[in-house]
Amino acid sequence: MSLPDLITVLSLVLGAFFFLAGTVGLLRFPDVYTRLHALTKADNLGLGLIVFGLAWQADTWFEIAKLFIVWGAIMLSSTTCCHLVAQVAITAGITPWRRRDDH
Amino acid sequence: MTIRLQIFDAVLVLTMVAIALRALLIRDLFQSIVLFIVFGLTLTIAWCRLEALDVALAEAAIGAGLTGALLLNTLAATRGREADRLTENEPRGGREQAVTATSAPTGPSAISLRPTTAIGFVATAILVAVPLSMVVVPFARSNEAPRISIEQALPESGVTNPVTAVLLNFRAYDTLLEVFVLFAAVIAVSPATLSAREYPTDIGGPVLRAFIRFFIPLTVLVAAYVLWAGTKAPGGAFQAAAILAAGSVLLIVSGANPPSPEQKRWRVLLVSGLAMFLLVGWSGIVVGGQFLEIRPPWAGPLILLIETVLTGSLALILVLLFRGTSLDELEHVASREVTK
């Protein structure tokens, strides 16, 4: 296996792990804010790693540029969505979850 | 096909069936819509696997994106109505009551045809039906279906993307009628009582504003690119229009003034795509060929011309389908009919 292929495989596996972690977080975390945290981590880091891995397989610089534009666009939209959901949740009066023994 | 791809396909198909079933069987409508959007995304992957990238693009933009927004919008609107109906005896919102009061007696006159409109309908029908039947009837009479090999005919189409060649040259009449269907849908929907909701203008704050300021120009750029790419790669008017419409829907739900079918400029844009299509179709007859016969050296530029104008029209059609017509406008139309 050549070095670019090895980098691709490693980043894809690591990226997939972040998506898995994000999904587990979405299912297991206690409230909407922490779930948002888990989801956006998957979007940003997981997709970033996958884009990084795929870039090593691209034929032209143009393809690499397109891949990173996709990543940038998704980061922007997921950040904005996260902010919107959190804002609506705050306005609806959902208080952030706290561990019971904290207070 | 390698075994790994087979496993991928099997997982994909099973996932799609599972999501489809869940979307149909689940009780909560909101969850059902979200599942429908997810189903659209998996369907996009399926089209990619079938190497039908044009369809995948359209599915991602229209099937998963716009239809999802349309359904969510409808759900929000009908839920409001449901609540209204439950509290029937209490005085309802003044605005809504005013509409039912003013529009009910004038209802028939509001949908009656003005003579100019009727003439327009007949003229358009003749402009379309006569040349179309001239093209289609000979095929229907002969027992042999016309067979052309796309690969052989492609150089004559004016474009190098076979999908665009079929859509806008070899079977342009199909596409023309499709655009008519969408146009008819928008005409049918525009007086509907599906309320265009008032979206809060203060939502999102600086984050959403900054996002829109960056994203809307990008949407226009991507739509132009997809339109241009359509002549030689997956893309074209429908996909570009869906992207533009998605950008417009984002603007509308964040408080921008939506386009109104009452205004003349929007009406011009609404019919421009069809008008251009018909014009090019008839120009085929004028230069001595058949309706919609597009030949080189003009085929490439003509296809791009139709597609460019069509993009604007289709985007507006999609936005108007999303939006419906506001109650304010109905009230406005109704009161105008009264004063006449």
Across B188-205, average pLDDT: 62
Tell me which residue of B206, B240, B207, B208 sits closest to B221, measured CA to CA: B240
pLDDT at B338: 54
pLDDT at B90: 45
Average pLDDT, rounded, for chain A: 89
- The residue of chain A nearest to residue B214, with distances taken between CA atoms, is A76
Q: Do A87 and B205 touch (CB under 8 A)?
A: yes
pLDDT at B328: 45
Task: Read off the pLDDT of residues B251-274 as tens digits, 9 standing for 90 and up.
Answer: 887 777 777 777 788 888 888 888
Q: Which two tokens stand for residue B252?
A: 């509308």
Beta strands in B63-109, from DSSP E residues, in sequence order: none
pLDDT at B334: 53
Q: Do residues B307 and B229 make contact, with C-beta atoms less than 8 angstroms apart?
A: no
Across B16-25, average pLDDT: 94
Residue among B204, B205, B211 minimizing CB distance to A76: B211
Task: Read off the pLDDT of residues B42-80 as tens digits, 9 standing for 90 and up.
Answer: 999 999 999 888 888 888 888 778 888 888 877 877 765
Residue among A73, A83, A88 minimizing CB distance to B207: A83
- The three-state secondary structure class of B101 is helix
- The residue of chain A nearest to residue B254, with distances taken between CA atoms, is A84
Q: pTM of whole model > 0.80?
A: no
Question: Which tops the pLDDT comparison, B272 or B331?
Answer: B272
pLDDT at B17 over 50: yes
B contacts of A26 (beta carbons < 8 Å): none
- The residue of chain B nearest to residue A86, with distances taken between CA atoms, is B204
Residue B196: which region, alpha, beta or left (left: phi > 0; alpha: psi -120 to 50)?
A: beta
Burial class for B324, CB neighbours closer than 10 Å (0-12, 13-18, 19+): buried
Amino acid at B282: W
pLDDT at B280 over 80: yes
pLDDT at B96: 44
pLDDT at B103: 41
Q: Which two tokens stand for residue A94?
A: 């959902």
Location of structure tokens 């402009």: B127
Q: Do B218 and A77 touch (CB under 8 A)?
A: no
Residues 183-242 of B with CB under 8 A from A: 203-205, 207-208, 211, 214-215, 218
Percent with pLDDT over 70 in chain B: 77
ipTM metric: 0.80
pLDDT at B112: 60
pLDDT at B104: 42
Task: Read off the pLDDT of residues B85-96 as tens digits, 9 standing for 90 and up.
Answer: 555 544 444 444
A contacts of B214 (beta carbons < 8 Å): 76
Least Cα separation, residue A10 to chain B (angstroms): 19
pLDDT at B118: 81
Least Cα separation, residue A81 to chain B (angstroms): 9
Q: Do B207 and A76 touch (CB under 8 A)?
A: no
- The residue of chain A nearest to residue B209, with distances taken between CA atoms, is A80
Question: Which tops the pLDDT comparison, B165 or B272?
Answer: B272
Cβ contacts of B87 within 8 Å, gap of 6 or more: none
pLDDT at B26 over 80: yes
Task: Read off the pLDDT of residues B105-145 as tens digits, 9 standing for 90 and up.
Answer: 444 444 566 788 788 878 888 888 887 777 777 766 666 66
